Structures are given as structure tokens and as C-alpha cells.
């Protein structure tokens, strides 16, 4: 692991980054991990007397209520529209749990541990946090009747040239909806993945009843602009109630489009009848680790490479610029560097490159700001201090201690959303690396681990789920 380079290696946590691109070597992710900071980037142990003003303006004050512990790496919190008040939390190492009251039910709702890669094991030394595992879950809008749910996870591969395979699978819960038998699995996508990183993972049903899913660029930046390839670097949109039930999973075989699909394609998807994969809804993304619908708006946090993290509002057929742009800035995919020179405003196909609604840097005033944006949602619950704010996070700002950030943006205006950092009435700072945010019955949750990156967090049960409450 990157134990000798302090904060310069932190972005590898969810960005899949190291020092290669910024230290003079090629930034082509097809052969080497991408860069985030030069070798002499400052650490975070600057004396308090020399500390500059905070990058983010101090924002509203809330409290954090602990509702679940004993997890390794809580990667999502979701609900099912089935008349119950159950909250389901994913643990990245392979289990789905039900939160009852303020604790976890004793038995998991679904256990896929034996179908996953060995999370946290066998990684190259430039990966400081394994992004593989149990990554996303979405309950069918008619779950109360059909008991169907959908899961994204990383499966082992029998091909030595691949690191793993990324699966999207359908499962069916038992009649009372209390447990899921893994034997009910029907695989919809089984995508080859060459490296252990940049697979994103969130899946969400929209108000239109279609399933939306995020896929990263696979550590090859050029996949963000390749709409004819392997569905990487974008958002897909499919009809899980369509297709052929007996069709092979998409991704098994050389032609990802080959033959019938086990799902349908919405006919208003932007590339239907045009060049490109019919599944795409939007593209030009790097590693959209977390996304969520807030009403009919799909808001995505896209993890940056060289200098900038960004959040995008996803529109049908839009191109968000990666790797030609990083945030609002120009990006050179050959060197892995970002600047404000040599910018392009459109793709080679003539598509306008859409700006993010907010961005923040990795460093400012010789201090770490934050690495790996964690997409969130607009708060519509009872905590008035953050009412109608877009809540999101930064995974961490330190290698040596848990140092995530909880942030709030104002999504009401046009242009760039103003951002503030949430303050806490019951603690001096956030004591976790932020992995995800969730919402249930109007309440907002933040999920993470209290283990620092230097402490091998995927070998510990320091995962925690907090509910955001009024101060």
C-alpha cells in the first residue's frame, strides 16, 4: 500500500490513482494507473497556527445519530416501496442487511459473499481502497407484488487477462419478502473488467420505471468518449420488464450487443437507431461511484483524476466531457494533467460538453481539500437546517486518519451550485471516510468507515451508518 506518501496517495481510494501521471510519465490509463498529485504534494499535518482559511464556507449545523455498526464497508442504504419501514444497507464485502430500530437484524437479507471477488485482496500497490464488491441494489417499483430486486457486484473471472467481471443480476425474495435465496439469480449483464477499479456501481429506478446504472471508464480514460464499446464511462438505462427471459447475459462473448438481451431497451434512449450502444443514456464520465434520483433529477458524483472532483445533473444524451475535461477545466488524457489551456468545448462527434453543477479541488492553499466525491441527494426531510440542500461528501482528505467531509450545495439556481461544509453540534469533525449517502422516509444518512486508509479498513468492522438529525 501507499504508506510512505501520506496524502498524495489518498485519491487512489475511489479514484484509482497514483503518482504516475503527475510525475512526468505517461498518463494513459490503458497501461498505467493515473495520476493525482506530484511527489512533493503537501501532507495534512500543517500546524494549526499556519492553517489557511477553510476552502468551504462553514455551513449549517446538524447532529449525527449512530444507527448501525459492525459493518466493514457500508456502500449503500436504500428502501423498498413495499409498505414497510425497512432500511437495507449493503456491506461491500458481500451482504445486505436490514436495519431494525437502531441496529442490524441478526441474519442478512441477502448473502453473496461466495459469489464475489476476494474484496481487499490481491490488489496492486497503487490501489489503496478496493472498489470492487457488492456495489449497488435497487428494488423493483412493484417489489411488493413481484419480489424482484437488482444487484451490482464484482465476480471472479476465469480469464487470466481480466481482473474480474461486473455483474448486474436480478434476484427474487421469498413470498413474505424477508429473505433472498441466491439461487434465484438471473444475470442480466456480465461485463469483462480488466482492472480492479473504476467500475462505479450504483443502480436506481427512475420515475419512468426504468433502471439506471453507473459504469466507470475501467481505468482507460478514452472509454468515456467511446459510445460503441463496452458500456464504460457512462450511465445506462434499461427496461428490466422487457427482453427475453432466456437470453444470455449481455457481456458474455465478444459482441456485447450479440443477439437477444435479457432486458428491454427504452425506445427513447438517445442512441437507439444511431451509432452507439442502445443502453447508453449519457456518457463522458470517469468513475461515477455514487448517484441518486432526487425527484426526476439524476445527480451523479464523478470522481476526478488530476485535480478536480465534480457533480453532474444527468440529461438524456449528454456528454460530460471526460477525458477531454475535468470539472470546468481542460484535461489532457495523454499526460493525465488538467489546466485551463487547450480546452475543447465539444467532442469529435460535435456534441457539446456539458459542465458540472459544482466542482472542488484536491488541494488549495497547500492543504488537502478532499478526494473522491461521493454523490448524494436533495434532502426533503425534517432537518430544516439542510432543507432542500443537495447533501454529498468527499471520501477523505487524509491518509493517516478518517477525515471525510459532509457537504451541502444549493441546487435551486442556475450555473454553479454554492457549496458549504456541514458543521456538527456533537463532534468537532466527521470521524469517518465517507462511502455513501442514503435516504429513507425523508431522513438522510451518511455511511462510512472509522478506519483510516493506512489501517487496512477492509479487514476491520469499523463501518458505521449515521442518521442526520437536527442540532
pLDDT single digits (tens) 173-199: 999 999 999 999 999 999 999 999 999
The per-residue pLDDT for 39 is: 29
What CATH architecture does domain 6-470 belong to? 6 Propeller (2.120)
Q: pLDDT (tens digit, 9 = 90+) per residue, 17-29?
A: 432 333 333 333 4
Query: 225 in the Ramachandran plot: left (φ > 0), alpha (ψ -120 to 50) or beta?
Result: alpha
Among 81-85, 267-271, 452-456, top mean pLDDT goes to: 267-271
- Per-residue model confidence (pLDDT) at position 51: 52
Q: What is the pLDDT of residue 445?
A: 98
**pTM for the whole structure:** 0.91
Residue at grid coordinates 435465496: 181
Count of all residues that appear for the chain in the document? 471
pLDDT given at position 287: 98
Query: What is the per-residue pLDDT for 253?
Result: 63
Where in the chain are the domains? 6-470
**How much is the pLDDT for 197?**
95
Q: Supply the mean pLDDT for the chain.
A: 89
**Are the beta carbons of 428 and 416 closer than 8 angstroms?**
no
In the prediction, which pLDDT does 299 show? 98
Q: Is the dihedral of CA 160, 236, 110, 376 positive or negative?
A: positive
User: How, if at all, do strands 110-111 and 329-332 pair?
Assistant: unpaired
Under the banding of pLDDT at 50, 70 and 90, the label for residue 259 is confident
Band of pLDDT at residue 399, cut at 50, 70 and 90? confident
- Is it the case that residue 430 has pLDDT exceeding 70? yes
Q: pLDDT confidence of 389, banded at 50, 70, 90?
A: very high
Q: Is the distance from CB of 458 to CB of 73 less than 8 angstroms? A: yes
| pLDDT higher at 133 or 43 | 133
Share of the chain above pLDDT 90, in %: 80
Query: Nearest CA to 419 among 461, 444, 383, 391?
Result: 391
Average of per-residue pLDDT across 63-69: 97
pLDDT band at 9 (very low <50, low <70, confident <90, very high): very low
Contacts of 78-84 spanning 24+ positions with Cβ under 8 A: 78/137, 78/138, 78/139, 78/438, 78/440, 79/139, 79/439, 79/440, 79/441, 80/139, 80/143, 80/144, 80/149, 80/177, 81/139, 81/141, 81/143, 81/144, 82/139, 82/143, 82/144, 82/177, 83/144, 84/177
Amino acid at each position: 500500500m501507499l504508506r510512505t506518501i501520506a496524502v498524495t496517495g489518498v485519491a487512489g481510494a475511489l479514484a484509482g490513482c497514483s503518482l504516475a501521471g503527475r510525475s512526468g510519465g505517461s498518463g494513459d490509463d490503458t497501461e498505467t494507473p493515473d495520476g493525482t498529485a506530484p511527489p512533493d504534494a503537501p501532507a495534512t499535518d500543517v500546524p494549526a497556527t499556519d492553517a489557511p482559511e477553510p476552502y468551504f464556507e462553514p455551513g449549517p449545523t446538524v447532529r449525527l445519530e449512530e444507527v448501525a455498526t459492525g459493518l466493514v464497508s457500508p456502500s449503500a442504504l436504500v428502501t423498498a416501496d413495499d409498505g414497510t419501514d425497512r432500511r437495507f444497507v449493503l456491506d461491500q464485502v458481500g451482504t445486505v442487511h436490514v436495519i431494525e430500530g437502531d441496529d442490524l437484524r441478526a441474519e442478512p437479507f441477502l448473502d453473496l459473499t461466495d459469489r464475489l471477488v476476494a474484496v481487499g485482496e490481491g490488489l496492486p500497490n497503487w490501489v489503496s481502497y478496493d472498489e470492487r464488491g457488492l456495489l449497488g441494489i435497487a428494488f423493483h417499483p412493484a417489489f411488493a407484488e413481484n419480489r424482484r430486486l437488482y444487484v451490482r457486484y464484482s465476480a471472479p473471472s476465469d480469464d487470466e487477462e481480466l481482473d474480474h467481471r461486473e455483474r448486474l443480476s436480478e434476484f427474487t425474495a421469498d413470498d413474505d419478502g424477508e429473505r433472498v435465496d441466491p439461487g434465484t439469480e438471473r444475470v442480466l449483464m456480465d461485463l469483462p473488467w480488466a482492472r480492479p477499479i473504476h467500475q462505479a456501481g450504483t443502480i436506481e429506478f427512475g420515475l419512468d420505471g426504468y433502471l439506471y446504472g453507473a459504469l466507470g471508464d475501467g481505468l482507460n480514460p478514452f472509454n468515456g468518449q467511446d459510445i460503441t464499446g463496452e458500456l464504460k464511462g457512462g450511465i445506462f438505462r434499461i427496461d428490466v420488464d422487457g427482453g427475453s427471459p432466456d437470453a444470455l447475459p449481455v457481456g458474455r462473448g465478444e459482441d456485447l450487443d450479440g443477439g437477444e438481451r435479457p432486458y428491454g431497451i427504452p425506445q427513447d434512449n438517445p442512441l437507439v437507431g444511431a451509432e452507439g450502444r442502445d443502453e447508453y443514456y449519457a456518457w463522458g464520465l470517469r468513475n461515477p461511484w455514487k448517484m441518486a434520483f432526487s425527484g426526476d433529477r439524476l445527480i451523479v458524483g464523478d470522481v476526478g483524476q488530476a485535480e478536480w472532483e465534480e457533480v453532474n445533473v444527468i440529461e438524456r444524451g449528454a456528454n460530460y466531457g471526460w477525458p477531454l475535461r475535468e470539472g470546468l477545466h481542460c484535461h489532457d488524457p495523454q499526460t493525465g494533467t488538467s489546466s485551463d489551456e487547450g480546452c475543447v468545448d465539444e467532442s469529435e462527434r460535435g456534441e457539446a460538453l456539458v459542465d458540472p453543477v459544482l466542482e472542488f479541488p484536491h488541494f488549495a492553499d497547500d492543504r488537502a481539500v478532499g478526494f473522491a466525491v461521493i454523490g448524494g441527494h436533495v434532502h426533503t426531510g425534517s432537518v430544516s437546517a439542510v432543507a432542500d440542500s443537495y447533501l454529498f461528501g468527499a471520501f477523505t482528505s487524509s491518509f493517516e486518519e478518517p477525515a471525510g467531509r459532509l457537504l451541502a450545495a444549493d441546487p435551486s439556481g442556475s450555473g454553479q451550485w454554492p457549496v458549504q461544509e456541514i458543521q456538527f453540534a456533537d463532534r468537532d469533525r466527521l470521524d469517518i471516510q465517507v462511502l455513501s449517502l442514503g435516504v429513507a422516509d425523508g431522513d438522510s444518512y451518511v455511511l462510512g468507515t472509522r478506519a483510516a486508509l493506512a489501517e487496512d479498513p477492509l479487514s476491520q468492522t469499523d463501518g458505521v451508518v449515521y442518521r442526520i438529525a437536527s442540532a
